[in-house]
Amino acid sequence: MPIKSFRPVTPTRRFQTYLTREEITKDTPEKSLVEGKKRTGGRDARGLISSRFRGGGAKKAYRLIDFKRDKFGVSAKVAAIEYDPNRSARIALLHYVDGEKRYIICPVGLE
């Protein structure tokens, strides 16, 4: 993951870094692996504000990540490396030999 750092023109810029988008190979997510994400906006189950000053922001789609990795003995090919707005890590789209598609959190050095 290439990290971009800035020249220290101002005190704030001195410590700013961010990840570049060079390694991302696909812009749109796999439709079958995306769900809607309900946002609370600081409201509780009754709809009352329980945490002030929350709300707004951009709408996000939640990518279903395979954390269990329970497909043993089935080989897979990395189809794409994608951006995920819900976490700081990149995600990798895997195409298994049996036709199934899954997202995993992308390890360092995966191509």
| 2-50 pLDDT per residue, tens | 889 999 999 999 999 988 888 889 889 999 999 998 899 999 999 999 9
Please state, as a whole number, how many other Cβ atoms lie within 10 Å of the Cβ of residue 38.
7
Compare 84 and 111 and report the one with higher pLDDT. Answer: 84
DSSP 65: B
Please report whether residue 84 resides in a domain.
Answer: yes
pTM for this prediction = 0.80
Please report whether residue 43 resides in a domain.
Answer: yes
DSSP 32: G
Residue keyed to tokens 């002030």: 52
Q: How many domains would you assign to the chain?
A: 1
Please report whether residue 37 resides in a domain.
Answer: yes
What are the pLDDT digits (tens) for 45-88?
999 999 999 999 889 999 999 999 999 999 999 999 999 999 98
Please report whether residue 59 resides in a domain.
Answer: yes
Contact between residue 1 and residue 23 where contact means Cβ atoms under 8 Å apart:
yes
Contact between residue 17 and residue 25 where contact means Cβ atoms under 8 Å apart:
no
- Which SS3 state, helix, strand or coil, does residue 94 take? strand
| pLDDT over threshold 70, residue 103 | yes
Please report whether residue 2 resides in a domain.
Answer: no
Q: Grade residue 1 by pLDDT with cuts at 50, 70 and 90.
A: low
Q: Which domain holds residue 82?
A: 24-111
CATH code at position 56 = 2.40.50.140
Please report whether residue 74 resides in a domain.
Answer: yes
Please report whether residue 110 resides in a domain.
Answer: yes
Please report whether residue 34 resides in a domain.
Answer: yes
Q: Is the dihedral of CA 101, 106, 109, 111 positive or negative?
A: positive
